[in-house]
Structure 1
Amino acid sequence: MTTPLPDRAAIARDTARALIEIEAIRISPERPFMFSSGLASPVYIDCRRIISFPNIRERLMDHATAILRAEIGLEAVEAIAGGETAGIPFAAWIAANTRLPMHYVRKRPKGYGPNAQVEGVIPQGQRVLLIEDLTTDGGSKVRFVNALRRAGAQVADCLVIFYYDIFPQTRAMLADHGLRLHSLANWQDILTVADDPGPFNPGDLAEIRAFLDDPLDWSARHGGAARLTL
């Protein structure tokens, strides 16, 4: 039986509106947010807020499950893994939706006991889908995937709630590591919804657009990294 393709544009708009509704978009041009890559940004998408809004989280997890079924294929996934910490609750809900086993992967080995970086029972060669809250440059996704692969998993796909989609080389870098990226929404979706009507004042919106147009230049001018190391 063929899985019907989800309406990706509708999912993107709904996700963007949901993030705006729960005030997950935090803006601070004067005191920029610093990402793990060293990038300075005037805006931060806090997907962790989703966990506190049951109706919205259920809707978004249904969207994620629909994308999993249509774009990856449920038959191609034998377990769901969440990245520490933000990806873990989303992985749990998607695992419940699909009735699949779940694992979670730490940023680094815990440093005591078995010194494990991945928790859960992974049979050798198990096909695992990585779930995360968001990605900017994709670097942390590669580190999580490498940890899962060292634990015996096969990982070909990563599904995130939000993808910044500001660096053209990100998807190519992930492809070089044998990884396909899937997301519910990106910044263009936020801006499309924000223009009709918008939750941001004109000054904030101009700052966001300046960052998205040239994130490395904006970062360098505000004390962050001037180049991206992938």
Structure 2
Amino acid sequence: MMSFNSFPDKKIIANLSAKMLLEIGAINFRPNDPFILTSGKTSPVYIDCRKIISFPRVRSALMDFGASIILRDIGFESIDAVAGGETAGIPFAAWLSERLSLPMQYVRKKPKGFGRDAQIEGFITEGSKVLLVEDLTTDGQSKILFCDALRKAGAQVSDTFVIFFYDIFPETRENLAKNGVNLHHLVTWWDVLAVCKETSFIDISSISQIENFLNSPDEWSLNNGGKEV
């Protein structure tokens, strides 16, 4: 078990995590041909955390970072189990549960619909303190739904961990807090932007477009072909 003295600084974690995601192509930039999100909004940036599973050294480092943040910010004995959200959160929950020596479950988006009609797979002890793990969060809504499902199954859920937090929608933390959930993460778009500026990973014009988007995502979307909010 690692000690507090061995935990990397959070700023270092964010910087290195951003660099690793850029290196493996998990972060994509298209300011002149924006991505269309499921909401109908447009975005000059897109994150695909699923790519991490194909890069063993990167995923190992990120999971080490994740374990250090969880232990430092939540506690060494404050979690009884780790639950992954279907589907992208499942592999990360498995790796983190291994590092933390904890049982694991996973949560379906909706009940299975046949057999036991289960929404939670794995064994949950009544009253156990469960950490929800997912790949990323934008507005936090899917985290709330997963936490509600775990609570209905008898778990206590007060924390969720993600690799990537958008951190551009001010209501996200507020919505999670209203539902009794604390958010923990490795890296945000602001951390990625900082790395791009210091490394010249992308051109100055693209950086300006991305910065405009991060400061006002809804306005940027409307001005670039996205649906009205």
Name the TM-score, length of structure 1 as normaliser: 0.92
Letter in 1 for 2:102: L
- Partner SS, residue 213 of structure 2: helix
- Whether contact under 8 Å (2:197, 2:207) holds in the other structure is no
Q: How does 1:167-186 map to 2 (within 5 A)?
A: 167-186=169-188
Match of 1:48 in 2: 50
**Contact 2:36–2:42, Cα closer than 8 Å, also in 1:** yes
Shift of 1:123: 1.1
Partner amino acid for 1:3? F
> What are the ranges of 5 or more consecutive residues in structure 2 without an aligned counterpart?
none
Q: Is the 8 A contact 1:130 1:158 kept in 2?
A: yes
CA deviation after TM superposition for structure 1 residue 218, in Å:
1.7
Residue aligning to 1:16: 18
What is the alpha-carbon distance in structure 2 between the residues aligned to residue 145 and residue 32 of structure 1?
32
| Separation in 1, partners of 2:4, 2:58 | 24
Q: Give the total of aligned pairs.
A: 227
Are residues 1:156 and 2:158 paired? yes
1:218 paired residue number: 220
Deviations 1:55-100 (A, max 9, x none): 1110010000000110001211000011111111010000010110
The answer for the alignment partner of 2:116 in structure 1 is: 114
**3-state DSSP of counterpart to 1:59:** helix
Counterpart amino acid of residue 208 in structure 2:
A
**C-alpha contact 1:6 1:70 (8 A) present in aligned 2:** no
TM-score (norm 2): 0.92
Deviations 1:24-55 (A, max 9, x none): 11123455334444443221111111111111
Query: Counterpart of 2:196?
Result: 194
2:115 aligned counterpart, secondary structure: coil
Q: Give 3-state SS (helix, strand or coil) of 2:187's partner.
A: strand
Q: CA deviation at 1:206?
A: 2.4
Poorly superposed stretches of 4+, deviation over 4 Å: none
Greater CA drift, 15-24 or 113-122: 113-122
Q: Report if aligned partners of 2:125, 2:155 keep a CA contact under 8 Å in 1.
A: yes
Q: 2:88 aligns with which of 62, 86, 89?
A: 86
**Matched residues, percent identical?**
52
Change in Cα spacing, 1:6 to 1:46, as seen in structure 2 (3 Å) is: same
Do the aligned partners of 1:34 and 1:41 also contact (CA within 8 Å) in 2? Answer: yes
Q: Give per-residue Cα distances to partners, 1:144-178, cap 9 Å, x unaligned.
A: 11111111111000111111100122111110000
Asked if 2 retains the 8 angstrom alpha-carbon contact of 1:33 and 1:42, the reply is yes
Structure 1 38/76 Cα, relative in aligned 2: closer, same or farther at 3 Å? farther
RMSD, aligned α-carbons: 1.8
